Chains A and B, each alone.
Chain A
C-alpha cells in the first residue's frame, strides 16, 4: 500500500471522527455511500474450542465465533435510510437520550489499509476508543474495533461498509445513542 494512500485514509478517518464529535451528523451522512451497510454485531462470552472447563457433547453445536453472524441479532444493522432516520430523530427536540446531548470523543488508532475487493475499494482496519459523557457525571467507555470498506466516489473516499465490534458482551452503558 502506498504511503500516500495510508495518509489519505488516516486523514479521512480523523476528519470523520471530528465531524461526529462536533455533532455535524448531516455532514457525517455525506461521508457514507448510498448503499452503506453499518453493522454492530453482538459479542458473546463463550468458551474457546480447546477449553477444558467443559467436555463437549455435540461438536456440531459449537459456536466458534464470539461475534454474531449477519442473520443473528445485532446492536445495530443499518442502511442509509435508517441512519438518516436516527439523525432525523435527534432533530425532533424530543430524543431524550440525547437531550441534553452527549459529549463524545472518538479516538481512532491502529489503522491498517489493505487492497479491497475491487479497484476503487480499500479495506481498512482500525480501533476506537469512544468516550461519552453526558448530563452531570454520566460517563461511558465504548471500545472496540472497526472493519471498513472505503470506496472512492468521484475521487472522494466514502464509507461503503462498517463492521463495529465492541469488546463488552454485556453493554455497560445504558444505551447506544451515538455513532462509531
Chain B
C-alpha cells in the first residue's frame, strides 16, 4: 500500500520532488497515512457555544459533523448515515436536537445515537440493534485554546504531545489575553487549483515570498505601515518538532496594520501580553505558522486561521476564519474584521496573488518532464541550530527555507511510517 517514496524528499540537500504535488497514488497515501491519522482542526469553540449548535467540516475528504449535544458536550462524528452512507447533515452550521437522514429517514440524536428507524417493526421485524448503528465518532477529540482538534487514529498520541512545544506559540496567537479569542461570524470558503501542501508550506515560513509576491499590496497600503519602519534582521523561523512551524519577526518589528484603533489597542495591552507570555516575547514576535498537516495561522496585518482541505492532488478548498481577542472592545473587533477581509480573504489585497502562484507551481507538475526536476528548498541550509529558549530548530536569518525542510521531513516520515512509535 505504500508508494515508493525514496528520493522524493532530500532534506540534507534541500531538494523536493515535484511528483508529490500531482501524483494520485501519493495523494491517496496522504489520505491514509496523514489525514486518517494526524490531529486535524475542526472548528473553534466559539462557533458552537450553545447545546445543539453544530458545524460541518471535513477531515481530509471525510465529511465530519461537530456538534454540542443537549448536555453541552462537544462530539465529532463522520457526517455519514450508518444505513447506506448518505451524507447526513447538508447544512454548514445550525442548531439541532436530532438529524434525520434524507434518504430513508433514520434519525440520530445530537450525541450520535440512532434514535428512530422507520418501519422498524414491520420491515426489520424489530430485529435491528440500534445501539450498534449510531454515528461513527472520531477516535479522539481535544481542544487547545478553544481550537477543537480530532483524529481518526486511536493510537495517535494525545493532542498535548502532538502539539508539544508549539503550544507557547499558539498561546501568543490565541491566548495572549484573559479569555482567549473568538471568531467573527462566517467562514471564507473558496477553491484553489493547487496541491494542499503549497499553501501549508507557505504558511510554515515563506518570508521570502512576502517581499515580492506581496509588494503590490504593501505598496498600496493593504499591510502594516512598513513604509515607516521595515522588518529588522531579528526574525527567526522556528520548527518546534512534529512538523509544526512558526515564523517570527524581531520583537520590535511592526506587524500591525496602520489603523489607529488597532495601533492604540495593541499599545494599550502590550504590557499585559508581555506579562502573560513571559520573556520569550522579548526574543521573537510570532506572526505566521502551520500545524502539521493543514492548519495555518497568521497574526501579522490580519488575524486569521486557515484549513487547507485537500480535494484531490491539484485542488484545495480553503477555509479562512478571522479571530479577535475576546476582551477587545467592539470597535477594535470591527477594525480587525475589516482589515482581515480586505487583506486576506479570497478578494484580499494580499491573498489574491498567492492563488496564482500556488496554482502554477502545481499545474506545471502535470508535465512528466517538469516533474523530473527537483524543487529547491535549500535556502539557509546549514545555518540553523537548536535553540532551547525558543524550543525549536531556529534559523540564523529571517529569510530561510528551514521550516519548509522540517515540514517536508515530517511529511516523509509520516508517509513512510506505519506506527506512531517509529515517529
Contact = CB atoms under 8 A, between A and B. Distances in A.
A172 B190 CA distance: 6
B190 A173 contact: yes
A76 interface: yes
A72 B349 contact: no
Nearest to A90: B216
A175 B317 CA distance: 12
A96 B192 CA distance: 15
Given A89-B216, A97-B353, A61 B53 contact: yes
B345 A75 contact: yes
Contacts of B192: 174
Nearest to A45: B92
Contacts of A171: 188-191, 346
B342 A61 contact: no
A68 B185 contact: yes
Contacts of B100: 52-55
Interface stretch (A3-11, A80-88, A116-124, A153-161): A80-88
Given A69-B185, A92-B219, A175 B190 contact: yes
A29 interface: no
Contact of A73 (B93, B216, B337, B355): B337
Contacts of A51: 91
Given A45-B90, A72-B186, A82-B342, A175 B219 contact: no
A56 interface: yes
A176 B348 CA distance: 8
B95 A57 contact: yes
Interface string B349-368: 10111011101000000000
Contacts of A175: 190, 346-347, 351-352, 355-356
Contacts of B95: 56-59, 61-62
A58 B193 contact: no
Contacts of A169: 92, 189
A1 interface: no
Interface residues of B, number: 57
Given A169-B189, A170-B317, A176-B347, A58 B220 contact: no
Contacts of B191: 170-174
Contacts of B353: 95-97
B90 A97 contact: no
Given A96-B213, A175-B351, A54 B187 contact: no
A45 B89 CA distance: 11
Q: Output the residue of A44, A46, A169 with the most chain B CB within 10 A.
A: A44
B222 to A, nearest CB: 7
Given A54-B94, A54-B99, A170-B189, A85 B221 contact: yes
B412 interface: no
A46 B94 contact: yes
Interface string B183-205: 01111111111000000000000
A34 B419 CA distance: 62
A96 B217 CA distance: 10
A2 interface: no
A75 B188 contact: yes
Contacts of A93: 216
B341 interface: yes
B101 to A, nearest CB: 8
A104 to B, nearest CB: 14
Interface in B89-118: 89-100, 102, 110
A61 B191 CA distance: 29
A59 to B, nearest CB: 8
A63 interface: yes
Contacts of B91: 45-47, 51, 53-54
Interface of A: 40, 42, 44-47, 51-59, 61-63, 68-69, 71-78, 82, 85-86, 88-89, 92-98, 169-177
In the complex, the 10 A-B pairs of residues with the closest C-beta atoms, listed nearest first: A57-B52, A176-B347, A73-B186, A97-B352, A61-B95, A72-B185, A171-B190, A57-B97, A54-B96, A96-B353
Interface of B: 50-53, 70, 89-100, 102, 110, 184-193, 212-213, 215-217, 219-222, 317, 322, 334, 337-338, 340-342, 345-347, 349, 351-353, 355-357, 359
27 contacts: A45-B92, A47-B90, A52-B100, A53-B90, A55-B97, A57-B95, A57-B110, A61-B52, A61-B94, A62-B95, A72-B186, A73-B186, A76-B341, A77-B338, A88-B221, A89-B219, A92-B216, A92-B220, A94-B215, A170-B189, A171-B189, A171-B346, A173-B191, A174-B191, A174-B346, A174-B359, A175-B351
